[in-house]
Amino acid sequence: MDNQNTRPRLDTFLVTTIILIVGISIFTLYTLGEAYPSFYSGYARQQLIWFIISSIGIAAIMVLDFDRYRKFAWPLYILGVFMLAGLHFLPWAWENNGALRWYKFGGTTLQPSEFVKVFLVVALAHVITSHNEKWTKKDLQYDLFLLGKILILTLPVFLLIAIQPDIGSSLVILSIAAFLIIISGIRWRTILTLFGTAFVIIASLFMLYFANPDTFISFIEDETSFDHVADRIKAWDNPHLYTDGAAMQSIKSMLAIGSGQLSGKGSMNYQVWIPERHTDMIFTAVAEQFGFVGASILVVLYFLMIYRIIQIALETKDPFGTYLAVGIVGMFTYQIFQNIGMSVQLLPLTGLPLPFMSYGGTSLLVYMAAIGLILNVRSRQKSFMFESEN
């Protein structure tokens, strides 16, 4: 008998993991508000409100079968590109600290690049699925056509975000594309050629920098519009040579994390002042209060979240659902690695938030929407009686 079970199933493991991470976020914001009331007061309450709102959004996302979101792939992509381009001509565009990344409506700000990450995942998943439905023979033409489609969708978004300037978010866009290229069906010889070329270019840039760092930095400052990138590279390479800006933030970040030692200083016991601690630097707040143990627990929760999403991607029998899940894995994985990496001075500073932890209504709403898509994919999985486990 070939009966199937189509009853929607909620992935309690993934839901529990997200609730725990958001719970740590709200508690950390509360402790920051208590320790520095003039800077961070009320952020915990607002984060809780946004979590409730975004949870309702998840319920709305799960009303439709995830496969029906393919119909919205192009409208969402076009909307995302328009939102990014509109920063240069719409009256609500708002520039802050030399970056043109937000729309401002009264006292509320909206960062379109956050929404575009999920829009791009949906669009790329749809394009890859459609391509594989039409092409049966995998040869060089198949590889080049599919790779071209992925790049045509990715590059405009990448460039529009990079010129804001927002190198961190633009690299998230590349991470999404890279993860999807790997599982898109493109043959490995083509993938290795593409990634090998990218590796050679990146390695060459590193060699040029370490061979003559002053010339490299001067070129970025004088010939490009990415002065802030040069500052952050200098701060990452040798922060003790500088006394302000990104360098000081790097030094303070390492001092806060190191001072937490094994078990931390205790709740609300902050002794190191770091700017933007409720957003980009929230990992340092966890590490200073609860030390290596607390920081490790948070990292393990992120690992479990990524692991579960990958499991869902492998288990679903719908290619579109698989591509959705893998694209979202690419989005989360890079942001987590980059944010924690910059906090421990493994990577240069960027403005990327730590998913579900950093304060921000827009970012939390988008990340919860991404989880909503994953839960949708999981809930619509069909299981068959006497189905083989292999």
Task: Tell me: pLDDT of 116 over 90.
Answer: yes
Q: What is the pLDDT of residues 214-270, one digit of tens each?
A: 777 777 766 666 666 767 776 676 666 666 666 777 888 888 898 888 888 888 888
pLDDT at 386: 43
Q: How confident is the model at residue 101 (pLDDT cuts 50, 70, 90)?
A: confident
Number of domains in the chain: 1
Residues in the chain: 390
Q: What is the mean pLDDT of residues 347-357?
A: 87
Task: Tell me: pLDDT of 39 over 80.
Answer: yes
pLDDT at 388: 45
Range of the domain at 186: 4-384
Which phi and psi (to 5°) does residue 384 adopt? -115, 145
Q: Is residue 58 part of a domain?
A: yes
Sign of CA dihedral 344, 345, 347, 352: positive
| Average pLDDT value for the chain | 87
Nearest to 371 by CA among 339, 324, 333: 324
Q: What is the mean pLDDT of residues 15-19?
A: 95
Task: Tell me: pLDDT of 3 over 50.
Answer: no
Contact yes or no for 306/329 (Cβ under 8 A)? yes
What is the signed CA dihedral for 352, 357, 359, 365, rounded to 10 degrees?
90
Task: Tell me: pLDDT of 2 over 60.
Answer: no
pLDDT at 245: 62
Beta partners for residue 109, in sequence order = 104
Q: How confident is the model at residue 8 (pLDDT cuts 50, 70, 90)?
A: low
Which phi and psi (to 5°) does residue 199 adopt? -65, -40
Nearest-angstrom CA–CA distance, 173 and 121:
9
> What is each CA distance from 319 to 26, 51, 183, 330, in whole angstroms?
36, 30, 10, 17
Q: Is residue 204 part of a domain?
A: yes
pLDDT at 259: 87
Q: Is residue 321 part of a domain?
A: yes
Amino acid at 347: L
Contact yes or no for 142/135 (Cβ under 8 A)? yes
Task: Give percent helix, percent strand, percent coil of the chain, each to the nearest 5.
Answer: 70, 5, 25
Q: What is the mean pLDDT of residues 292-310?
A: 95
Task: Tell me: pLDDT of 140 over 90.
Answer: no
Nearest to 283 by CA among 337, 331, 334: 337
Q: Is residue 389 part of a domain?
A: no
Which phi and psi (to 5°) does residue 284 adopt? -65, -30
Quick one: residue 102, left, alpha or beta (phi over 0 = left, psi -120 to 50 = alpha)? beta
Nearest to 92 by CA among 110, 73, 116: 110
Q: How far is CA 230 from the centre of its chain?
A: 23
Q: Is residue 119 part of a domain?
A: yes
pLDDT at 4: 47
Q: Is residue 51 part of a domain?
A: yes
Question: pTM higher than 0.85 for the full model?
Answer: yes
Q: What is the pLDDT of residues 187-218, one digit of tens each?
A: 999 999 999 999 999 898 888 877 887 777 77
Percentage with pLDDT > 90 across the chain: 51
Contact yes or no for 354/335 (Cβ under 8 A)? yes
Q: Is residue 390 part of a domain?
A: no
Contact yes or no for 323/146 (Cβ under 8 A)? no
Give me 161's structure tokens: 């975000």
Q: Give the CA radius of gyration of the chain.
A: 22
Q: What is the pLDDT of residues 62-86, one digit of tens each?
A: 888 888 899 999 999 999 999 999 9
